[in-house]
Amino acid sequence: AKAIAAKAQSSFIDPQLKAHADYWESELAATGWFAGPEFTAADIMMSFPVEAAAQRAFKRAERPNLDAFLTAIHARPAYQRALEQGGPYSYA
């Protein structure tokens, strides 16, 4: 079972995560947000998949636009309040 999972990871999942991260990186290049020049609900929706991918699919230092996006999300007061109330979360 581990060999099958490893093959699926290397042949499908990892390339898909890279393709998505490439697309996200290019989309954020224009304004730093996903749906225009200002923070929107789209950015809230994208924050979790981007954070999850940052944990397993790419190094933030290699993706400056994704890194800046996550830094901006983490700096928002509502994000800080959510962490205070719910505590940190894990992607396991």
Q: What residues does each domain of the chain span?
A: 14-86
Cβ proximity of 66 and 50 under 8 Å = yes
pLDDT tens series, the chain, 92 aa: 889 988 888 888 888 999 999 999 999 999 999 999 999 999 999 999 999 999 888 889 999 999 999 999 999 999 999 999 999 877 65
CATH of the domain spanning 14-86: 1.20.1050.10
Amino acid at residue number 89: Y
pTM for the structure as a whole: 0.85
Cβ proximity of 37 and 31 under 8 Å = yes
Question: DSSP labels for 44-89?
Answer: HHHHHHHHHHHHHT--GGG-HHHHHHHHHHHHSHHHHHHHHHH---
